[in-house]
Homo-oligomer: A and B are copies of this chain.
Amino acid sequence: MQPPALDLATYLEDLRRQIDATLERALDRRQTPRLIKEAMRYALLGGGKRLRPCLTLASAEAVAATAAVDPHVAHLLALPSACAVEFVHAYSLVHDDLPAMDDDALRRGRPTTHVVFGDGIAILAGDGLLTEAFAVLAESPSPAAPPGAPEAPPASRLRAVAALAAAAGAAGMVGGQAIDLAAAGRVRADQASGAALDANALEDMHARKTGALIRAAATMGAMAVGADERRLAAVDAYARELGLAFQIIDDILDVEGSHEQLGKSAGKDVAAGKLTYPALYGLDGSRRLAADGIARAKVALDRAGLGGRLGEIADWSLGRTR
């Protein structure tokens, strides 16, 4: 018996509830000293869209549907991956906000982790979140999984570790942030390029800094339910386009948005002299670029016979206002 279809907002809200419970469960380890646990919780539980772990669960569900596997089972199998991805995302925000990096005092409308806990503990909280992401994937049973939940086989979990490490590592997110720092002149003078990025370099920087983790989020969900290579590639192509569109819309919102809508300082990119999509292509050109990408994302899904909510999430990403 099929339950009535929920609208997307209700569906995502349900996923977020599962994800938040999972994050709490994974954080609640007896052996962790109080101070570092509090800083990790602060960094992790301050709200946020939970886009990446929602993608993990929605991808698992879409692939599972092709094998008539129950969505609930797909979610259980993918929860450790969803949790690991959000741990990595939260760590990256804590470190990027540090005075030695982007020096942001405000995030999601709250003081950033280093403002509350000091730089030293904030660095350690980020280190802890990054490391625990891999514990969550590798331990059996996973600290992220509800008691008795089924788990993906070792080879599949090992592949998820590799995918997450590649996305987060020196060629991915860490490398993207290094390129961004250098372009902003925030490294030592003899090592900074100082030069503004061109369009290709901008796309490369975003592909590493934010795109790689969004792709890992989606493909790790597909891996958790045993996707074949063709469907993995389709989910990856979908997520690559989605990640790029997300970045373009972020840049548009930074130009158009207000402090309240974004929870961070609007117009900050422009003030910092950062190259953005609107600066390169104008607002209309940027919107077209994002819409074209989302169209390609949906074609990739269709060709691999993947339904579910992934297409709706893509459409929603174009229209979002924060």
Give chain A's interface residues, CB within 8 Å of chain B. Answer: 29, 31-33, 35-37, 40, 95, 98, 100-101, 117-121, 123-124, 126-128, 130-132, 134-135, 137-140, 154-155, 157-159, 161-162, 164-166, 168-171, 174-175, 177-179, 181-182, 186-188, 191
B residues near A119, Cβ cutoff 8 Å? 100
> With A35-B187, A35-B191 given, is the CB distance from A174 to B120 under 8 Å?
no
A117 near B170: Cβ-Cβ < 8 Å: no
Nearest CB in chain B to that of A160: its residue? B138
How many chain copies? Answer: 2
Nearest CB in chain B to that of A131: its residue? B169
> With A130-B130, A161-B161 given, is the CB distance from A178 to B135 under 8 Å?
no
> With A33-B175, A178-B36 given, is the CB distance from A131 to B170 under 8 Å?
yes
B33 near A132: Cβ-Cβ < 8 Å: no
A129 to chain B, nearest CB (A): 8
A162 to chain B, nearest CB (A): 4
A77 to chain B, nearest CB (A): 16
Most buried by B among A123, A168, A191: A123
Other-chain residue from B35, B171, B179 in contact with A178 (beta carbon distance below 8 A): B35
A5 to chain B, nearest CB (A): 37
B residues near A127, Cβ cutoff 8 Å? 95, 126-127, 130, 174
CA distance A32 to B178 in the complex (A): 10
6 contacts between A and B (CB under 8 A): A33-B171, A37-B170, A95-B123, A101-B120, A118-B191, A131-B170
B158 near A128: Cβ-Cβ < 8 Å: no
A181 to chain B, nearest CB (A): 5
> With A33-B175, A95-B123 given, is the CB distance from A169 to B118 under 8 Å?
no
A288 to chain B, nearest CB (A): 30
B117 near A135: Cβ-Cβ < 8 Å: no
Nearest CB in chain B to that of A182: its residue? B35
Other-chain residue from B29, B101, B138, B171 in contact with A170 (beta carbon distance below 8 A): B29
CA distance A161 to B171 in the complex (A): 20
Other-chain residue from B128, B140, B158 in contact with A169 (beta carbon distance below 8 A): B128
B121 near A187: Cβ-Cβ < 8 Å: yes
CA distance A203 to B182 in the complex (A): 42
